Structure formats: structure tokens, C-alpha cells
Structure 1
Amino acid sequence: MGFKQAPARGRLTISATQAHFPRHSLKKCNRLLTIEDRCKKGGSLRCWLAVAALFLISVHAACAGQVRGVPQIVDADTVYIGQTKIRFNGIDAPETDQVCLDAAGKTWTCGIEARERLRTFSKDREWSCELTGTDIYRRSLGSCTVGGENVSRWLVQNGWALAFRRYSTEYVANEDLAREHQRGLWSGAFIAPWDWRHRSNLTVIMGALTVPTMAQRALISNSTANPAPPSGNCLIKGNLSSAPQCIYHVPGGRFYDRLNMQPSSSHRWFCTEAEAQAAGCRKSKL
């Protein structure tokens, strides 16, 4: 899934995930709230300027930090470590319901494959993640390493994710290398993850030029009409636009057949209930 940096606004609050952050960060947050309360009781302009300055320091402290642990891998660019949901900064990987084309023009479940390659690479080892902020979905943004290797760099260089140039150019050289050697997604044709979430008949196809043109056209038409699940094992429907929480529907459920899986960033196919729950969804009560 894509990300957007969350704007800092309003009064600073401390979330449960900040238990992972250094104690001095929480002290700064508490100090900010104390000064703000005093200013509201009749403080001067100087008082409010002090709040503004301390706010900037505290926001950085509250959003930054380090998390360690064995991850639960949701997809190729999103993991959980403990209760902290982490979205890799600067890259975008295919969604688990995304399909691509191989060199012969045959479809394959590239989103699932990218996730499984990351799981194999991880091998249940402990990760260390540097958190740099949050996005509008309240996920922590950051970069992670395992065994001394940058996970995002490994994904992009092996063709399982793209450099998200809109937000960072850090991994562009790694993407160029993957494209040159036709690794991962680049071995065939595919839709960029950010375009897949909003695909239409005008969506651009990326990848190897050797993939048959008719197959590329079929990828567009089949994925924009009434998209089928990526595989027969991925039949759970997720409605991410449900308020106040994403809801998933299993086959046989009352509303399962009513949910039209038109191309949208608010609709997702899931392979298991655990996968849907890891994405923040709850099961439909009906």
C-alpha cells in the first residue's frame, strides 16, 4: 500500500506504540503538554512561541525511534514488529492481490510472490528498524535492516519493489540495476503498485519489452473490468473504505456477493483471515 506523510497539527498526543521509544522522548512530550496548559491560562506570546518550538522537537522525538524484533510480514513493504505497524519509506511493492505477466505473457501472482520472497529472505531473523515518522494511515514510516542488510534496498535491487520517487530517490540506482538485469517484476511486464491501486484503461505497463503486446493489453482489460481474485486461494474480500474500520467478507457471508471488487484503492483481495486482520480489517458480523 502507498503512503503519505501525515501533517503535524493540533495538540501532541502519545500513542501506545511510543513505549518503544526512548524515555527522554516521553519527557519532552509531557513537558510540552504542561507548558501548553499554562499558556492557555493566560500566557504571553513568548509562552506560545516556546510551545511551538518545543512542539517541533517533540513531534520528531515522538515519531522517531528504533524498534527491534522478528517481524510479521503483511506484504512486501509493510510489517508488524510487536504492535508497531511499519511501512518501508521510499519504496512501493505490489499489493498481495496484484497480478503481473511473465516473459511469455502469462499472469502470475507477483504480489504474493514478492511477500514470500521477503519472508524467505527474513528467515525469522530479528530486524532493527529506524522509524522516521508516520503516514496518514497512522503507520510508522522507516527503514529496516536484517543481518546488516537494508531490507528496502534488497527488495528494490532484486526487483520485488520499486523506488517510490515521489517521496525518495534513495533507491533509484538499485531499481536501475534490477531493470538492467530483469530481476523479479522486471523479468516480465507489470503495473506500478501506485498505478495498480487506481488502475484504468490508460494505465501504463512497465517491464520487459519482449512480453507479447496482446498479453499486456489483456492485463489492463482483465484487471479493470471486474477483477478476479489473484488465485483460487485468495477469495476473501476486503472493503477498506468501511467506517470506522476496514471490514473483510468471507465466501458464504451475507454481503460477500454484494461487494463489487471494482479496481479501487479501497478494495482488496486477501488469501487468509490472518492476512486481512494484519491489514487492520475485522470480519463482517453477518
Structure 2
Amino acid sequence: MKRRAMIAAFLAVISSPACAAKLSGPPRIVDGNTIEIEQTKIRLSGIDAPETDQICLDTHGQKWACGIAARDELIKHSNGQTWDCHTTGRDEYGRSLGSCFIAGEDVNAWMVRSGWALSWGRNIHIYAVYEVVASHAYAGLWSGAFITPWDWRHRNKGTIIIGASSVPTDAQELLLGSALLSDPPSPECLIKGTVGGNGERIYHVPGQFGYGQIDMTKKRGERWLCSEAEAEATGWRKAAR
């Protein structure tokens, strides 16, 4: 009971008006659902986009870097424009949770409607209709087969693979094989994130001691990261050496 009371108190604090703010400006886009405005990291609320190291299958059943594509499509859509964000609360990594708009257009909704993110969280119903629209149009991730972003982070042999039409018979092998992330999903994503025995998330950049000895196929929690900004925004700490 005491633990539940502590959790309830924590949730009350992070969702309180004291955590609310309005921010405006052209953002630095970290990934498909994380941006930064005025040095404030904002996690787009109500949606979940694929991690930058996430791999999906295209309409022909071939692997493609859908996480990077989601980020790049958001960058393209933003096109240097000013965003207006309304934040309330914070997530487990200290990012502000917010709804953002470009000239009145809901960016969170656009990501789901365009197929680059899924409706997610306690307010999943808010963007669910846009998810249906995207799947019917075979847009973005829905053009082939993929793992939901929240399942990708904790995937195992029993993880479900979904798609708007059909899922290839070899999808399990392609998206859940142990050697999937032996190589980075893109030449720009060379940072290695590893999880220690105590659950601490540590990242190593090329040139650091021991970088070359890290085998990215050993643990499911390990992942490739595309920038130190992305690593730090999602709870990773840089290795001391």
C-alpha cells in the first residue's frame, strides 16, 4: 500500500499544473516523438513512434529502417517552421509531455494519421481514429509489417508482428532474429547503448574504450543510437571512458 501511495503521489506531481508550460519556436527533432525547444526536451504525448534503430518490413517484405524514416518525415514536415507546444507533466526520463502544433495543425495527430506513429498511452482513444485512417491507406509503417514501438523495446520470440494487410511468413525470423541489430540501421547510428546488470543504461561512442568489443546481438535491451542528444533524451548515460 505504501508503494502504491508513493506512485500515486509521484504521478500527481508530474501531472500537476506546476509542470505545465507553453513553448514556441523551431524545434530540434531528436526522433519520431521527441523534440527540443529552448533546451526543453518534449515527448509528444498520446503517440508512440518507432525507435531510430527499429527495423520494419516494407510492402515487398524487405527490411527497412522505419525508425529513421519516421524521424526524417517529421523533420521534413516541420521544415523549420515554428511549433507551439503545450506541456503538462513529465515522463520517466524527465522529458516534458506535450501536444504540439504547426500553424494550428496538431503534429501528434499528423504523425499517427501519416502512419509514422501509433496512438498510445492513457489517452490512446484521442488519436485512435487517425490510426485507422493510416492503416486503411497503407501509410508509413502500415505499408508493410512491423512491431509496435512499445513491443519493439521489449521484444522476444513471442512478440506479435502486425500489418494493414498481411504479415510475411518469414517476418518472425527477419524482425526477431538474434542477429537483427548486429549492424547499425544506418551509417549515422553508430552509438552503442548497453544495459548493465543493475539496469543502468550506458552508451558508448566510436573511439571509446571497449567500443569495438560490444556485441549488439547479446542482449535485447541493447540498441543503436543515432546521436548523443537522442541517447540522453531517452535515459542513457555516457560511459566514463
Q: What are the equivalent positions in structure 2 for 1:1-286 lying under 5 Å apart?
A: 7=7, 9=9, 60-164=16-120, 166-214=122-170, 216-222=171-177, 224-225=178-179, 227-228=181-182, 229-239=184-194, 246-261=201-216, 262-264=219-221, 267-277=222-232, 279=234, 281=236, 283-286=238-241
Aligned pair in 2 of structure 1 residues 242, 86: CA closer, same or farther (>3 Å)? farther
Aligned pair in 2 of structure 1 residues 87, 7: CA closer, same or farther (>3 Å)? farther
Partner of 2:3: none
Question: Partner of 1:238: helix, strand, or coil?
Answer: strand
Question: Partner of 1:176: helix, strand, or coil?
Answer: helix
What is the CA deviation profile of residues 32-87 of structure 1, one whole-angstrom value per residue up to 9, with x for unaligned ones?
xxxxxxxxxxxxxxxxxxxxxxxx79972211121111111111111111121111
Q: How many residues align?
A: 232
Instruction: Please tell me the residue identity of whatever aligns with 2:212.
Output: D
Structure with the higher helix share, 1 or 2: 1
CA distance in 2 between partners of 1:226 and 1:77 (Å): 23
Instruction: Please tell me the residue identity of whatever aligns with 2:9.
Output: R
Deviation at 1:240, TM superposition (A): 6.1
- 5+ long unaligned stretches in structure 1: 1-5, 11-55
Question: Partner of 2:29: helix, strand, or coil?
Answer: strand
Aligned pair in 2 of structure 1 residues 62, 242: CA closer, same or farther (>3 Å)? farther
**What percentage of aligned pairs have identical amino acids?**
49
Contact 2:154–2:220 (CA under 8 A) maintained in structure 1: yes
TM-score w.r.t. length of structure 1: 0.72
CA distance in 1 between partners of 2:209 and 2:163 (Å): 40
Question: Partner of 2:89: helix, strand, or coil?
Answer: strand
What is the CA deviation profile of residues 103-159 of structure 1, one whole-angstrom value per residue up to 9, with x for unaligned ones?
111111000000000000001111111112112222111100012100010000000
Contact 2:161–2:167 (CA under 8 A) maintained in structure 1: no
CA distance in 2 between partners of 1:279 and 1:59 (Å): 19
CA distance in 2 between partners of 1:8 and 1:73 (Å): 31
CA distance in 1 between partners of 2:149 and 2:15 (Å): 30
CA distance in 2 between partners of 1:225 and 1:131 (Å): 39
Aligned pair in 2 of structure 1 residues 249, 165: CA closer, same or farther (>3 Å)? closer
Question: Partner of 1:213: helix, strand, or coil?
Answer: coil
What is the CA deviation profile of residues 218-262 of structure 1, one whole-angstrom value per residue up to 9, with x for unaligned ones?
22332x456222123322102366999854212342221343432
Query: Which range is displaced more, 246-255 or 195-204?
Result: 246-255
Instruction: Please tell me the residue identity of whatever aligns with 1:238.
Output: G
Contact 1:240–1:281 (CA under 8 A) maintained in structure 2: no
Contact 1:239–1:268 (CA under 8 A) maintained in structure 2: yes
Structure number with greater Rg is: 1
Taking CA–CA contacts closer than 8 Å with sequence separation of 6 or more, which of the two structures ends up with the larger relative contact order? 2
- 5+ long unaligned stretches in structure 2: 1-5
Aligned pair in 2 of structure 1 residues 177, 83: CA closer, same or farther (>3 Å)? same
CA distance in 1 between partners of 2:152 and 2:119 (Å): 15
TM-score w.r.t. length of structure 2: 0.85
Contact 2:95–2:233 (CA under 8 A) maintained in structure 1: no
CA distance in 2 between partners of 1:202 and 1:211 (Å): 15
Contact 1:159–1:185 (CA under 8 A) maintained in structure 2: yes
